[in-house]
Amino acid sequence: MLRADSRRRALRFLLEDPNAVSVSELADRIRAPDAGSRIRSDERTDSRLDRRIGLLHNHLPLLEGMGLIEFDRRSRTVVPTAAASALTPLLAAIRAFERHGGTD
Question: What is the structure's pLDDT at 42?
Answer: 45
User: Is residue 10 situated within a structural domain?
Assistant: yes
| Mean per-residue pLDDT, 84-91 | 88
The CATH number linked to 86 is 1.10.10
User: Is residue 104 situated within a structural domain?
Assistant: no
Number of separate domains in the chain: 1
The predicted-structure confidence for 44-72, as pLDDT tens digits, reads as follows 455 888 889 999 999 999 999 999 999 99
Q: Report d(CA 45, CA 40) in Å as an integer.
A: 11
61 or 32: which leads in pLDDT: 61
Which domain, by its residues, includes 40?
5-99
Of 60, 54, 88, nearest to 72 (Cα)? 60
User: Is residue 59 situated within a structural domain?
Assistant: yes
| Model confidence at 40: pLDDT above 50 | no
Q: What is the pTM of this model?
A: 0.76
The predicted-structure confidence for 74-87, as pLDDT tens digits, reads as follows 999 999 999 998 98
